[in-house]
Amino acid sequence: MLEKKESGTMLSADTSSSVRSMAAKAKVATFIDSFRRAEVPPVSDIEANSGGPPIVPSLPLENSLKDRHVQMIAIAGCVGTGLFISLGTALAQAGPAGLIISYGVVSVLLYFIVQSLGQLSSTFPTQGNFLAYNTRFLDESWGFAMNWNYCLQWMVTLPLSLVSASLTIEYWGSEINTVVWVAIFYVFICGINIFGVKGYGEGEFIFSLIKVVAIVGFCILAVILICGGSPNHMGYIGARYWHHPGAFATGFKGVCSVFVNAAFSFAGTELCALAAANAENPKTAMPKAVKQVFWRILIFYLLSTILICFLVPSNSPDLFTGSASSTSPFVIAIKSSGIRVLPSIFNVVILISVLSVANASVFATSRPLVALAEAGHGPKILLYIDRKGRPMAALLFTFAFGLISFVSASSKQAEVFNWLLAISGLAAIFTWLSISLAQLRVSHACKVQGVSKEEFPFLATGGDYGAWFSIIINVLILIAQFYVGLYPVGGPDLNIKVFLQVYLCAPVVLVFYVGHKLYTRNWKLYIRAEDMDITTGRRVVDLDVLLQEREEERREWAERPWYYRLYNTWC
C-alpha cells in the first residue's frame, strides 16, 4: 500500500512538473509570436468614432495608457536635463532677472500652445502623431518638414540623455569609464520600451512621481534657506545675489541667448497630447492632461527657477566646473547651504530625471516615425507593428540611433554632441509655431464652411488670441536666436561655426520643406480654407444635446462647494 502511495505521489509530481514545463514553453512561444506583424482589420470592420464618420486607424498601435499615466506624464514628463542642469548655464548667461523674464515668457507661450493642442487633439483625434495636423490643415510640404524636424529632435535627445546620465555618476568620483554606464543605461531604456506603451507608461509614472516629490521638497527647502535657515549660518539671503553680482549678467544679449535654453527645458510638454492619444479613453484623458500642464509650468519651472535665482549667484564658479550634475544649480544651492548627504540624494533624482527623458525620447520618436511612414514621408518598413501593438521597426530604428551615445568613448565627443544639439536646438520652436498655425487655420476653415466651434469637445483658453500671441512670441524667439547666433555672448562676432551651432535647425527645416516641394512639384503654399477637410475623423456630436449637457454641468457646477470647483478647474 505504501509503495502505491509513493508511486502515486511521484506520478503526481512528474505530472505537475510536466504541466509547468508546458506552460513555460507556451509563454515563450506566445512571447515570440507577439513580435509577428499584426493584421490590420478591413475598413468595414472599424467602428465609427464617437458618432462620427468611420476613421481608418493608422495601424493597430497599443492604446493602454491609463489616466494616471497621462496625468503624470503631463505633470513631470521630460522634466530633466533642461531644468536640472542647463538652468545653470542660463543663469550664468542672463542673470536672475534675465532668466526669469525668458522663462516667464516661454511659460505663458507654452500654456497657450498646450491649450491649442488640446483643442485640436480632442476634436481631431490622431493615434500616431499630432503633427499630422500640419499636413492636413497647413501644407503637405510643411508637414513633411515638421515631421522630420520633430523626429530628429527626439532621436538626438536619446544619445544626449544617455551620455548626460553617465556623466552624473562622476559626481561620486566613479573611476568606471562612462561608456560602461552608457551601455547599462542603454540596455535599461531599451528593456523598458520593449514592453510597449505599458512599459513606457509605468516607467514614466514612477520617474515622474519621484521628480514631483523632489521638486516640491526642494521648493520648501529653498524658502527655508532664503529666509536664513541654512545649517552654515549664512543668515537671511533674500535678494542678496540680485544686488551683487546683479540682476542681469550680460544685458539684453544674455536674455536673448537664454530663450533657446528655456525652449530646451520646456520641450516635451506637448507629449501630453501624444500620450493622451495612446490612452484607454482619449476623450477624457486629453482635457485632464492639458490642465496638469498648468501646474508643471507654475511649480516645476517658474517657482523652482525663481527660487534658484535667490540661492545661487550668477557668477558662481561652480556653474562652470565639474561634472554635469555638479554644475546643477539645484545641487549647488544645497551644497552651499552646508547640508550633507542631501546633494547626493538630489543627484540621484537628476540621474532618474535624465533617464526619464531618454525613456520619453524613445516613445516620442517611434510613434511619429510610424505616422511619418504612413503619410508617405518615410520608409514603409517603419509601418511594421507587431501583435502587441508595438511599432517594432520604429523602435529598432530609434534604438540604432541611440548607439551614437557610445561616441562618448571618443575624444571628439564634445564636437559630435555640439552638432547634434545644433540640429535639435530650435526644433521645439518650430513645433510650437506649427501647432498655433494649425489652430488658426482650423478656426478660419470653420467660419468659411459654417461649422460651429461649439461642437468641439474642448475649447482652448484664449482661443485664437492665444494662438496669435504664441505665433508672435515664437517668431520673436527665432529673431532673437538669429541675433545671438551672429553676435554670441562673450564670443567672436560673425563666426559661421558658432552661428550654425545656434541656428542649424532652421536651414535643416528649410531643406526638408523646399526638397519636398521640388520632389512633389506641389507649389501651393497653404491649403485653402474652403478646401480643408474638417469633417473626416472629427468628433461629431449633436449640438443641441451638447449645449444641454453643458447647461446641466453649469447648474451642477454652481451647486458644488468652492473647493470642489477650485480643484476641478485646475486639476
On whether residue 4 sits in a domain, the answer given is: no
pLDDT in tens, 508-531: 899 999 999 998 888 888 889 888
Report percent pLDDT > 70 for the chain.
Answer: 76
Q: Average the pLDDT over 179-199 and give the result.
A: 85
CB 161 within 8 A of CB 80: yes
Range of the domain at 436: 57-540
| pLDDT tens, residue by residue, 274-330 | 566 556 565 566 666 676 677 777 777 888 889 999 998 988 888 876 555 557 888
Q: Kindly state whether residue 102 falls inside one of the protein's structural domains.
A: yes
> In this predicted model, which residue has the larger pLDDT, 233 or 306?
306
Shortest CA distance to 132 belongs to which of 151, 146, 114, 119? Answer: 146
Q: How far apart are CA 312 and CA 462, in angstroms?
A: 36
Residue 174 belongs to a domain with what CATH number? 1.20.1740.10
224: its cell numbers? 527655508
Task: Count the neighbouring beta carbons within 10 Å of the beta carbon of residue 453.
Answer: 15
Q: What is the pLDDT of residue 434?
A: 92
pLDDT range class, residue 62, cuts 50, 70, 90: low
Listed in sequence order, the residues at least 6 apart from 349 whose beta carbon sits closer than 8 Å to its beta carbon are 84, 210, 211, 214
Q: Are 539 and 52 in contact (CB under 8 A)?
A: yes
Count how many domains the chain has.
1
**Would you say residue 232 has pLDDT above 90?**
no
Count CB neighbours of 396 within 10 A.
15
Residue 186 is predicted with a pLDDT of: 92
Q: Is 527 left (phi over 0), alpha (psi -120 to 50) or beta?
A: beta
Residue 431 lies in a domain: yes
From CA 20, how far away is CA 33, in angstroms rounded? 20
At residue 475, the pLDDT reads 93
DSSP H helical ranges for 312-391: 329-336, 342-374
Q: Is residue 213 part of a domain?
A: yes
Distance between CA 144 and CA 509 in Å, rounded?
9
Phi, psi of 54 (to 5 degrees): -60, 140
pLDDT tens digits, 335-357: 888 888 888 888 888 888 888 88
pLDDT of residue 53: 33
Q: Is the pLDDT of residue 56 over 50?
A: no
In a domain, 565, yes or no: no
Residue 552 lies in a domain: no
In a domain, 291, yes or no: yes
Inside any domain, residue 558: no
Question: pLDDT averaged over the chain?
Answer: 79
Site of grid cell 500640419:
134
262 SS3 class: helix
541-570 pLDDT per residue, tens? 666 676 677 677 778 777 788 777 776 666
Between the alpha carbon of residue 395 and those of residues 9, 348, 401, 417, 452, the distances in Å are 49, 27, 10, 22, 40
